[in-house]
Structure 1
Amino acid sequence: MQWINAYGIEFLSVAVVHLLAVASPGPDFAIVVRASVAAGRRAGTWTALGVGAGIFVHVAYSLLGIGLIVAQSVVLFNALKWLAAAYLLYIGIKALRAKPQDPTATVDLQAGPRSPRQAFITGVMTNGLNPKATLFFLSLFTVVISPHTPLAVQAGYGLYLALATALWFSLVARLFSQPRVRAGFARMGHWFDRAMGAVLVGLGIKLAFTELR
């Protein structure tokens, strides 16, 4: 009971801050939506699980103090920033090059081009390489979470953050993989893929111009 009283408020603060952050549209949201619409619930869910797994990358270096080093090094921060931006631009440009389907072809909404492994890796890389997430977790583990909080408790917070993220984006995947939703997007054909590509390219460009503050 004393342990709950000691860290309950801190955990609640972590949960609220994380909820506000994860609910904000960004690269993770865009990549899960695109996977769900293009390839169905299975691909969307695996992408969501990959995003959740990417959280462990940020938690690990935050607990080890590496995040502080990255945040204070312009060279390391820029290297991570350009790598993440290049990855988003690569995915976005591929989507922008989507071609119209043969109008006589039958669209199978249950089939998708992604394997679970590919979808999972895409989720991990999109979240794990995001330098904005680096700054977010650095702030979380240095401002919201007390440095006197035991490492085991902080690791527990990290586990919650990963699971909550995976759950949130799994719900997003479930919503956007509904047959009616997918059918509506399918009617727009390659224009939807191009629109999502433009979003990803825009996010990549925005990320490329992110400055270390």
Structure 2
Amino acid sequence: MAIFLAFLGVALVVIVTPGPDTAITIRNTLLGGRPAGILTALGVGCGLTIWALATSIGLVALLTASEPLFLAVKYAGAAYLIYLGMQALREAIRPAHIHHAHAPALPHSRLAPIAAFRQGFISDLGNPKIAVFFPSLLPQFVPAGQPSFLSLLLLGVVFALITFTWLTIYATVVAKAGDWLRRPTVRRIVEAVSGILLIGLGIRIAAEQR
């Protein structure tokens, strides 16, 4: 139990640190409301679960051992974040829907549920940090003498569930302030900031060494 509690402590510190998943969840919540934010969080959680399964069966070790494969995942993930960031900047500069600066936000969603899930899922699968992070973190908390496959998978799923819960809280808080945040002027500022952050994160991932 002590080992598991230690894992929870480390996981919480990592999860609450803002990153690409947080930025995408906040932006999608503004575009599609709380449901889109939760679906984005679900996509992230599913991506993490796949990473956990791949770590448990040794596929991640093969990925990190192969420089071409690792670079392909890294650059694909970075390119996707930059693409999302460019979309946000475009929306900030030339919004698809022009409204009066003090008009209330549109009541309907501007982001399809499947798109919200897809963005969270792809952004997480394309994050090479997970490919390095899971194999280095999870084995440290596997109790001696326990089957490594089940233990690694369980720890990875727990990490994914905590991440989903945390991002859902983010989505709920942002949705509560949605009417104000989605006012045209405020929304354009948020789009610009999130676009810059996503592009910056994409560039950083592409430029980072292992």
Q: Same fold (TM over 0.5)?
A: yes
Are 1:102 and 2:95 counterparts?
Answer: no
- Distance of 2:144 and 2:11 partners within structure 1: 18
Are 1:131 and 2:128 counterparts?
Answer: yes
Aligned to 1:24: 17
Q: For residues 39 and 107 of structure 1, do their structure 2 counterparts lie closer, same or farther at Cα, with a shift above 3 Å needed?
A: farther
Instruction: Report 1:51-200 matches (<5 A).
Output: 51-98=44-91, 99-100=94-95, 101-104=97-100, 107-146=104-143, 148-150=145-147, 151-178=149-176, 180-184=177-181, 186=183, 187-200=185-198
Q: For residues 147 and 61 of structure 1, do their structure 2 counterparts lie closer, same or farther at Cα, with a shift above 3 Å needed?
A: farther
Q: Please give the TM-score of this superposition, normalised by the length of structure 1.
A: 0.87
CA RMSD of aligned residues (A): 1.9
- Distance of 2:114 and 2:181 partners within structure 1: 27
Q: CA deviation at 1:59?
A: 0.3
What's the CA shift string for 1:129-186, capped at 9, x where partnerless?
10011111111233333574323333322222221111110001001111x3541452
Q: CA deviation at 1:115?
A: 1.7
Contact in 1 for aligned 2:81/2:201 (Cα 8 Å): yes
- Distance of 1:189 and 1:169 partners within structure 2: 20
- Distance of 2:179 and 2:4 partners within structure 1: 37
Aligned to 1:4: none
The percentage of counterpart residues that share the same residue type is: 32
Q: For residues 149 and 39 of structure 1, do their structure 2 counterparts lie closer, same or farther at Cα, with a shift above 3 Å needed?
A: same
- Distance of 2:69 and 2:143 partners within structure 1: 26
Contact in 2 for aligned 1:14/1:145 (Cα 8 Å): no
Q: CA deviation at 1:112?
A: 1.7
Which residues of structure 2 form unaligned runs of 5+? none
What's the CA shift string for 1:78-123, capped at 9, x where partnerless?
1110000010011111111111453349544532221221111111
Aligned to 2:36: 43
Q: Please give the TM-score of this superposition, normalised by the length of structure 2.
A: 0.89
Amino acid in structure 2 at the alignment position of 1:91: L
- Greater than 3 Å deviation, 4+ residue runs: 103-110
- Distance of 1:48 and 1:173 partners within structure 2: 8
- Distance of 1:189 and 1:118 partners within structure 2: 19
Q: For residues 110 and 134 of structure 1, do their structure 2 counterparts lie closer, same or farther at Cα, with a shift above 3 Å needed?
A: farther
Which residues of structure 1 form unaligned runs of 5+? 1-7
Contact in 1 for aligned 2:138/2:156 (Cα 8 Å): no
- Distance of 2:20 and 2:187 partners within structure 1: 22
- Distance of 1:107 and 1:74 partners within structure 2: 50
Aligned-partner SS, 2:146: coil
Aligned-partner SS, 1:189: helix
